[in-house]
Amino acid sequence: MQLNKYIDHTLLKANATVEDIKNLCAEAKKYDFYAVCVSSYYAALADSELMHTDIKVATVIGFPLGSMTSRVKAFEAQQCIDQGADEIDMVLNIGLLKSGYYKIVEDEIRSIKKTIGNKTLKVIFENCYLTDEEKKIACKLSLNAGADFIKTSTGFGTGGATLEDVELMKNEVHDYLKIKASGGIRDLKIAKKYIDLGVSRIGTSSGVTMVTSN
């Protein structure tokens, strides 16, 4: 198992500086991580820093609340792609999902996927706010809308990834969608447990610690 190739090396803190993003990209190159994950403003910078590598640039949109309008999310996604992003991690509209407005939630996911075309779309659920039934519904909506990944958490909610949530998500989507676990994953042992459950990507700011303790 090449752990480094599961890692989205992540920095989404509000106080992340230009130098911090450059350092993030330098670490990604040093340890050959699969991708970096940054705020949308830093898409162009990350793309520039990772030029001539195969490391992907992932950016978050509608982050971290998910409550922006669909048009705003689509605009943000398009701007990120235009600036070099390879992958988009979107937060679904949590409040509308919990309100039972499933068609609107599904249509929004579909519109973002249409906007970014063949680029990778990950849908962030923020599982800490959802019931198990709502998580299952979010899985189905994401699958129906043509997403590529489903993702556990932003890392900014009241809880992050759990093994139980990943198992539930896997049981719903099987191999039709990939799964990204993120939020609170900080050591090698727990990362391996997620991979054993079938996740394809791990979002973490502790990737360097993980791979150097391998």
**Per-residue burial over 148-183, b = 16 or more CB atoms within 10 Å of its CB, e = otherwise:** bbbbbbbbebeebbbeebbebbbebbeeebbbbbbb
CA distance 180 to 200: 6
Active site positions, annotated? 89, 151, 180
CA distance readout (Å), 199 to 84, 173, 178, 193: 25, 12, 7, 9
